[in-house]
């Protein structure tokens, strides 16, 4: 089974054929990575100085909100904050254009989230096993519940030294969930509102968010699983772009430096086939309504 589906488009403004759009929709909803090996994000001459770990502070990522224009996480060494903001805004706009052209069925239902720039080497970056993205996982974040919405992410490797972003891609969502679900206790009644009340989550942690966080943790904590799960390495060279539902596709980043990433949130109802979503799969496997 291939985990990657390629497009040979070389330009962010390209229109896609109906066939390409149909394939993109069914492949990405099956959990595949849509890969654009000829589509690079161009860094201008005056932006090259940002390709340095000094661009970030302690947070290790620069984070940009395309809606408000807010930029966070820059280090004290960044002299021209406006130039960095404009780089982030350009990537945000090209990534959202790509999603709009390739997956027009999602339309306005795909809500643009944060844009991030990751200039720190991914190998050896983690401070704990839970934050260790070199371990296979599906994305779920403790303080940012999604209540079932999908996490769609667009990535571009902007490494200037010819170094790839080296990933591993794991097994499909359902067998992974089946393996771990029986070891996950149901959420404590009332825990969602309580976490929100004490400011530990930005919105209500639903039962869905509870199960996703637990799956994320169980996968990362299980070293036998990390070694033995069905998986394949995949290296994304510099000047390539890819897009994937990271809440569904098991992934890990083994190494690489200088990555741009754009997140979108998509309601399950906007999908062509909601049955392939982690929400519907987990509801079927647990026999419960989870949001």
Residue 246 touching ligand SIN (CB under 6 A): yes
d(CA 123, CA 121): 6
Cα angle for residues 271, 275, 278 (degrees, 5° grid): 90
Q: Which of 66, 92, 253, 266 binds ligand SIN (CB under 6 A)?
A: 253
CB of residue 182 vs Fe ion: minimum separation in angstroms?
A: 24
Our CB check for ligand SIN shows the closer of 231 and 283 to be 231
Q: How far apart are CA 248 and CA 144, in angstroms?
A: 17
Nearest alpha carbon to residue 63 among 75, 72, 76? 72
Cβ atoms within 10 Å, residue 166: 17
Q: Does the footprint of ligand SIN cover residue 146 (CB under 6 A)?
A: no
Provide, rounded to whole angstroms, the least separation between the CB of residue 133 and Fe ion: 5
User: HSE of 255 in the Cβ direction (CA atoms, 13 Å)?
Assistant: 5
Least distance from C-beta 60 to Fe ion, angstroms? 14
Of 14-22, 47-55, 246-254, 266-274: span binding ligand SIN (CB under 6 A): 246-254
Torsional sign, CA 169, 274, 106, 27: positive
Of the chain, the end-to-end C-alpha distance in Å amounts to: 32
Q: Which stretch binds ligand SIN (CB under 6 A): 24-32, 102-110, 192-200, 245-253?
A: 245-253
| Residues in contact with ligand SIN, shown as a per-residue x/- string from 101 to 140 under the rule CB under 6 A | -----------------x---x----------x-----x-
Using CA atoms in the order 116, 118, 123, 125, what is the torsion angle rounded to 10 degrees?
A: -80
Per-residue contact track with Fe ion, 119 to 148, x per CB under 5 A?
Answer: --------------------x---------
List of residues contacting ligand SIN (CB under 6 A): 118, 122, 133, 139, 165, 246, 251, 253, 259
């Amino acid at each position: 089974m291939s985990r990657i589906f390629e497009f040979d488009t070389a330009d962010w403004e390209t229109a896609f054929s109906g066939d390409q759009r149909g394939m993109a929709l069914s492949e990405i909803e099956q959990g595949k990575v849509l890969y654009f090996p000829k589509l690079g994000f161009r860094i201008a001459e005056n932006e090259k100085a940002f390709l340095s770990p000094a661009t970030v502070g302690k947070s290790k990522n620069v984070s940009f909100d395309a809606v408000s224009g807010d930029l966070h996480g820059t280090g004290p060494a960044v002299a021209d904050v406006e130039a960095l903001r404009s780089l982030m805004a350009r990537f945000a706009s090209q990534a959202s254009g790509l999603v709009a052209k390739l997956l027009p069925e999602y339309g306005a239902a795909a809500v643009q989230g944060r844009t991030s720039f990751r200039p720190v080497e991914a190998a050896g970056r983690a401070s704990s096993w839970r934050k260790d993205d070199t371990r296979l996982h599906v994305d779920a974040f403790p303080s940012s519940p999604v209540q079932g919405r999908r996490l769609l992410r667009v990535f571009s490797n902007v490494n200037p030294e010819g170094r790839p972003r080296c990933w591993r891609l794991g097994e499909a969502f359902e067998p992974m969930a089946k393996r771990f679900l029986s070891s996950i206790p149901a959420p404590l009644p009332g825990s969602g509102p309580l976490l929100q009340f004490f400011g530990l989550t930005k919105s209500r942690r639903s039962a869905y968010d509870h199960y996703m966080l637990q799956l994320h943790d169980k996968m990362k904590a299980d070293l036998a699983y990390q070694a033995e799960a069905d998986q394949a390495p995949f290296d994304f060279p510099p000047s390539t772009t890819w897009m994937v539902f990271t809440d569904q596709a098991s992934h890990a980043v083994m190494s690489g430096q200088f990555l741009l990433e754009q997140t979108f949130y998509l309601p399950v109802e906007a999908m062509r086939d909601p049955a392939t979503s982690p929400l519907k799969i987990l509801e079927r496997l647990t026999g419960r309504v989870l949001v």
